[in-house]
Structure 1
C-alpha cells in the first residue's frame, strides 16, 4: 500500500494518493490472471485489493490501516465522514473515495475500482491476524470454495460474548453464512460472476453470500478477525442478537430493505 508521488497514467483520480505505479504493482501473476489463466497465489499480499467502507471511523481506521502497509491495494470508501476519516486514509496511503452513506453502495464502489485478482472486504473496526493472506490461501486454494471469512473474536470480556462467538462459528460451519464483520474474501472473477454487492443499505452481506453459494462453498479460514464490542454494548448481547434475528427474518419474508433500514 506504499504510495508514489506521481499519479499513474490511467488510474482513477480519487482524493488520495494511488498505490505504486501499475506496472510495478501488478505482477506477472496478476497479468496472467487478467488473460484468463490460473489465479495468482492468494498468500501473496500483492495480489489483494482490500475494500473498507467507513462512516465516522477516525478512531478505528488507523489501527486497521497500520496492518495494511504492505503491497496490497487498499480502498477506503467514505459515506460522508466529518471526523477526519478521509484525511487519515489518505495520510496512511490508502485510495479514498466519497460515496453515499450506504454500506452496499460503498462496497460496490470500492470493488469496482479494485485492480487486484483477490478481494477482501473489511469493516473499519476489524483487526486482522498477522498471517491473514496465508490463512485465506489455505481455504481459497480449493476450487470448490467460492469465498471465505475469518472466525469472529469480539474484543470484550464476558461469557455472553464468548457464547456469541461460538454461535457464529456454528452458523458458519453448519450453514455457510458469515456476516460482513468477519471479513469476506473471494477471487475478483467470482465476485463479478456473482453480481457483487448490491447498492442496498442493509443485509448487503447476507444477500451476497446467498448468491455466492451458487458458485461454491462459503467457508471459514483457520484464523480469527478481532472486532470491537461496540455494536453489542449499545443494546446488550441478547437484545442486539434478537433485533438482528428479527430483521433477517423480516428481510427473508420480503419486507422492503428501506423499511428495515429505518428500524436498524
Structure 2
C-alpha cells in the first residue's frame, strides 16, 4: 500500500532513529546526572519533539515518514508516539548495519531521496529536514554535523547500494571521528557531499542546557531559596549542586547559625559575582519565616524551595522549567533519595514515591517548586512553626496538579541515623495526624522537638 502511494512521484522520505524509553537502557551517559528514570524521561521528551517536527514536515511535503526503534515493540511505540506512524525495528548489528538496512528498505519503497535523523539535537526542525532533502537534488550525500564530531542527519539519494554501503562499515560509532571518517569515505567513493549547519546534541550532563535553550528559546530565571541553621556540614554540597544550573539566583537565608554556615555561604557569594549570584540574608529562626524572607528578595519567574541538606540533580533547572510549562501543573517536586546505603531507607524512599505520585502530596524535603507569582498570591509560605510545607501543598492542590519529577533530590540521612527509621516514620505520621485533627502547630512543634531530643 505504501509502495503504490509513492511510486512514480519522485517521493522524499525521512526516518527517525530512536529507542523506546526504558529506564536504564536509554541515554545511559545521562544517568549519573538524572538517574535512570530521568534519562528515560528526557529520551521520551526529545523523541516526541523530533517526531512532531517530522510530522509538520510530512504535512507540508506529503513525504514518507517512518520511525525505526530499538527496544519495546511496534504496538508500544505506536501507543507512545501515535497510531498514524509507520514503525519498524532497527534490527541487529551496529549503527552502520542499521543505517544501511534503513536506506535499503526505504529505497525499496520507492523513495528517491531519503534522510535519517536521530533525536539528540533539539534544534532540528522541519526546515532542517526540508533543506537536507533539497540538498539531495544536486548531491549524492548530505550530512548534518553535530558539534561533538558525529552527525545528527545523514541523507542519500537512490544510488546503487555498492556506492553507499562502505559509508556504513568500519566507522568508529560513538566517537568524535564519525563525521571525519564519513567524509573521507565519501571522497574515496566519488560521492558529492553537502553539509548542513552544525547543531549541538544532548548526550552528557554538561549538554543538558542545550535542550532548554533550543526547545523553548528562553530560560526563565529560577530563584532558589535555601533556609539554613547550623548547616556547615551540608551547605557546601547543596550549593555546589545548585550552581550546576543555568539562569538562577540563589538566596540563602540564615536563621542565626552558630557554626561556620555563614562563612561558607559568604565564600560562595563572593564567587557568584561573576557567575550565578548567591545572596546571603538573615532572619530569626524558623523555616517558614526564612523562606518568606527569601521570597521577598526573589526576582525569578519561578522559585525552588530547598532545604539546606538536600542536593539537587544535575539538570534540575531543565526539569523545573519543563514541568511548570504544562498549563495543568500548578507546582512540582522531585522524588526523594536518602544519602545512605541502609536498606530500611529504601522503604522510606518507596513510601515517599507512593505518597507523592498516587496522592499528589510531596513534602518540603523533596524540593517544592512553583511560580513565584502563584506563591505570592497564596500569601507566601504558611507562617507555621511546623507543617508549613504540608499546608502549602494542601492549598496548592485546590488550583491544579502537583507534578512529580522523574528525578530525585538526595537528602541527608541524619534524622534517620539519629532516631532510627521506625521512630522517625512514626513520629512524622503522628504529627500529620495531629495537624489534621486540629492540634495547633505550636503545640505539635514543641512535642516534636522534645521527641527528637
Same fold by TM-score, threshold 0.5 exceeded? yes
After superposition, give the CA deviation of every residue in 1:20-76 in whole Å (9 maximum; x if it has no partner).
xxxxxxxxxxxxxxxxxxxxx999666100000100001100111122335411111
Q: 1:177 to 1:43 in 2, by over 3 A?
A: farther
Q: In structure 1, what is the Cα distance between the partners aligned to 2:221 and 2:296? A: 16
| Aligned equivalent of 1:225 | 409
Q: CA RMSD in A?
A: 1.7
| Aligned equivalent of 2:251 | 75
Q: In structure 1, what is the Cα distance between the partners aligned to 2:260 and 2:219? A: 27
**Residue 123 of structure 1 pairs with residue 307 of structure 2:** yes
| Aligned equivalent of 1:8 | none
Contact (CA 8 Å) 1:43, 1:136: kept in 2 or not? Answer: no
Contact (CA 8 Å) 1:145, 1:216: kept in 2 or not? Answer: yes
Residue 157 of structure 1 and its aligned partner are, at CA, apart by 1.3
Contact (CA 8 Å) 1:49, 1:72: kept in 2 or not? Answer: yes
Residue 125 of structure 1 and its aligned partner are, at CA, apart by 1.1
Query: 1:129-208, aligned counterparts within 5 Å?
Result: 129-208=313-392
| Aligned equivalent of 2:68 | none
Contact (CA 8 Å) 1:151, 1:225: kept in 2 or not? Answer: yes
Q: In structure 2, what is the Cα distance between the partners aligned to 1:67 and 1:107? A: 19
Contact (CA 8 Å) 1:43, 1:137: kept in 2 or not? Answer: no
**Residue 50 of structure 1 pairs with residue 234 of structure 2:** no
* Runs of 5+ consecutive residues of structure 2 not aligned to the other structure: 1-214, 270-277, 449-453
Higher RCO (C-alpha under 8 Å, 6+ residues apart) = 1
Q: In structure 2, what is the Cα distance between the partners aligned to 1:196 and 1:259? A: 22
| Aligned equivalent of 1:85 | 261
Larger helix proportion of the pair = 2
After superposition, give the CA deviation of every residue in 1:187-232 in whole Å (9 maximum; x if it has no partner).
1111122222022221000010111112211121111101111111
Higher Rg of the two aligned structures: 2
Residue 160 of structure 1 and its aligned partner are, at CA, apart by 1.1
Residue 119 of structure 1 and its aligned partner are, at CA, apart by 0.2
Q: 1:67 to 1:220 in 2, by over 3 A?
A: same
| Aligned equivalent of 1:17 | none
Q: In structure 1, what is the Cα distance between the partners aligned to 2:283 and 2:238? A: 20
Q: In structure 2, what is the Cα distance between the partners aligned to 1:42 and 1:54? A: 33
SS in 1 for 2:242: coil
Q: Which of 413, 425, 441 is the equivalent residue of 1:257? A: 441
Contact (CA 8 Å) 2:324, 2:332: kept in 1 or not? Answer: yes
Q: 1:253 to 1:42 in 2, by over 3 A?
A: farther
SS in 2 for 1:92: helix
Residue 86 of structure 1 and its aligned partner are, at CA, apart by 1.4
* Runs of 5+ consecutive residues of structure 1 not aligned to the other structure: 1-40
Residue 137 of structure 1 and its aligned partner are, at CA, apart by 2.7
Contact (CA 8 Å) 1:42, 1:133: kept in 2 or not? Answer: no
Q: In structure 2, what is the Cα distance between the partners aligned to 1:49 and 1:111? A: 8
Work out the number of aligned pairs and report it. Answer: 224
Contact (CA 8 Å) 2:242, 2:312: kept in 1 or not? Answer: no
